[in-house]
Amino acid sequence: MTSSENSSALNAPLPSSGAASSPAISPDNGFDMKNLFSPENILKAVYTKIVSRNKNTPGLDFVSSRAFIASLKNEIAVIQRKTANNTFLFTSYHLNLVSKGPDKLPRKICIPTIRDRVVIALISAYLKEAFPKETRRPLANVVVNRVLKQRNSYQRFFKLDIKTFFATIDHEPSR
């Protein structure tokens, strides 16, 4: 694929999918890895999570979204093969440190590989379909309105600011 073809692939519109979510992901069809990780669903995840958001930050494998798309047929085959025979393993995140200013520890940004982002997007889509009530988040303005309606029923409140919470979690997997 030439660089101009690669560039046009990144700017290509999302293939028409009909519904908001693919029927192959629907839990009504049963949990079927072949359907969940079909080429159509993988392609949809690549376009909605990577291309349309212009995510070009590589993970630990240093594969950019352009390189991933250039070898898309191979990447789809790898995802399908590894998920079908239960050998898919997520890659460790690429750690990127961002300065928060003098006298402050840098913010840790953990970046997954493009392949991992695609698989995570597919699993997330399935879980949202399988458990709509548990995965639906209320809009921020709905939460604010709810708090405003209830504020007069309380006489006191306290402000809580949790700092360095994520950094205190043990990120090593339990063995």
Domain boundaries, the chain: 3-141
What is the C-alpha radius of gyration for the chain, rounded to an integer number of angstroms? 20
Amino acid 120: pLDDT: 92
What does the alpha-carbon distance between residue 124 and residue 57 come to, in Å, rounded to a whole number? 20
DSSP letter for 106, please: P
pLDDT tops 80 at residue 73: yes
| pLDDT class of 174 with cuts at 50, 70, 90 | low
How many residues does this entry show for the chain?
175
The answer to pTM > 0.85 is: no
- Contact indicator for 47, 118 with CB cutoff of 8 Å: no
More confident residue, 109 or 18: 109
Amino acid 20: pLDDT: 39
More confident residue, 160 or 174: 160
Return the closest-CA partner of residue 108 out of 171, 53, 161, 160: 171
Sign of torsion over alpha carbons 58, 64, 68, 69 = positive
The pLDDT of 132-138, averaged and rounded, is 87
Amino acid 89: pLDDT: 95
Q: Percent of the chain beyond pLDDT 90?
A: 25
pLDDT tops 50 at residue 145: yes
Burial class (CB in 10 A: 0-12, 13-18, 19+), 43: middle
Tell me the pLDDT tens digit for each residue of 54-66: 677 888 999 988 8
pLDDT tops 50 at residue 162: yes
- Contact indicator for 84, 160 with CB cutoff of 8 Å: no
The pLDDT of 91-113, averaged and rounded, is 90
- Please give the mean pLDDT across all residues of the chain: 77
Amino acid 91: pLDDT: 94
